[in-house]
Structure 1
Amino acid sequence: MANIFKKMVDKLSGYSDEDFVDYDEDYDYDNASSDQYEEQADFEQSNFSNFVQEPIMQPRAERKSADHKVVPLKSNVGAQQLIIIEPDRIESAKKVIDHLRSGHTVICNIERVDRDVAQRVIDYISGSVYAMDGSVKPIDSRHLTFVAAPRSVTLLDKETAPQPQSSAQEHFRMAR
């Protein structure tokens, strides 16, 4: 029964006992002389003449600090600029976006611009500022003057600005 099971496993696995490499029982391994190996290991140097010797890797020499190039970065400290533009067409609205990409805050006045062109300019600037994670806020009540700021600038209005306390209120609170 075990023999049938073994034959079935051998057929399914594709492995049989005949393929198994085992020690030759008739051969005496203890009496094998080491001369057999030396005779087979006799190689001629001419067989190796076609081989190319690989280059030996040398450790990389340390560079001096003078070899490194130092590139100064622009400092944004004190470099904030406020740009005032009257965008009267899409090309000038592109200039507004270029200033915003440079990190400048831009005030746009569209009072003297045709109503249809003004709407396209506002849409263009608003969409671009939104894509850059900036912010746009109207300055006047008619929404004809607005400020556009890059992501690095926070715009606050009456509702979002912190209310400063007057010195009289502060003095009164401290007196209590």
Structure 2
Amino acid sequence: MSFKDKFKSFFDFDEQASFEEDQATKREDHKVNQEQEPAKQFKKQNQDNVVSLTSIQNDTKMVLCEPTDYDEAQEIADHVKKKKSVVVNLQRLDHQTSMRIVDFLSGTVYALGGNIQKLGQQTFLCTPEHVDISGSISEIFNDSSYDYK
């Protein structure tokens, strides 16, 4: 063997050994990652299932409003934006202003993904998206047995 061949074999051996060491290191890293992945997934699942009890308590507030002017509609909408349910009594307003307020609140509630329901002749319930409403209130028209004048 010539000096040139010895020199090549010396460096080829070092490259081969370093290549094998790199492969072994990669295999060990892969094993460690596989062992850690289930722990990370479990930890992530636990974090997704955590619910703060204080947030539930704060979300249960309901606001009662009896506007006397159309300008108060924005204040009612702000309550819904703050994720509060609002009962709106429109008895103090004329029919035209009541319709304008209901239209404004309907648009606001729709944009926020909430719901608006009629509770009585001039009473409405506006709820944000996280509040579910079950049941309905039927209206009685032209029934003399329920006429309370």
Q: CA deviation at 1:74?
A: 9.5
Give the root-mean-square deviation of aligned CA atoms.
1.9
**Structure 2 partner of 1:152:** 130
TM-score normalised per structure 2: 0.53
Where in structure 2 are the equivalents of 1:84-95 lying within 5 Å? 84-95=64-75
Using structure 1 for the length normalisation, give the TM-score.
Answer: 0.45
Structure richer in helix, relative to its length: 2
Matched letter for residue 95 of structure 1: E
| Identical-pair percentage | 25
Deviation at residue 156 of structure 1 after TM alignment: 1.5
Partner SS for 2:110 = helix
Gaps of 5+ in 1: 1-72, 160-176
Quote the Cα distance in structure 2 between the aligned partners of 1:123 and 1:92: 13
The runs of 4+ residues in structure 1 deviating greater than 6 Å are none
Matches within 5 A, 1:1-176: 75-79=54-58, 80-140=60-120, 142=121, 144-158=122-136
CA offsets 1:30-77 (integer angstroms, 9 cap, x no match): xxxxxxxxxxxxxxxxxxxxxxxxxxxxxxxxxxxxxxxxxxx99312
Paired amino acid for 1:128: T
Question: Relative contact order (C-alpha < 8 Å, sep 6+): which is higher?
Answer: 2
Change (3 A) 1:107 1:77: same
Q: Quote the Cα distance in structure 1 between the aligned partners of 2:114 and 2:131.
A: 8
Counterpart CA distance in 2 for 1:157 and 1:89 is 31
Q: Which runs of no fewer than 5 residues in structure 2 stay unpaired?
A: 1-51, 138-149
Rounded to whole Å, the distance in 2 between the matches of 1:148 and 1:157 is: 15
Larger Rg computed on CA atoms? 1
Are 2:67 and 2:92, in contact at CA under 8 Å, matched by a contact in 1?
A: no
SS of the residue 1:77 aligns to: helix
How many residues are paired up?
A: 85
CA 105–112 in structure 1, closer or farther in 2 if over 3 Å, else same? same
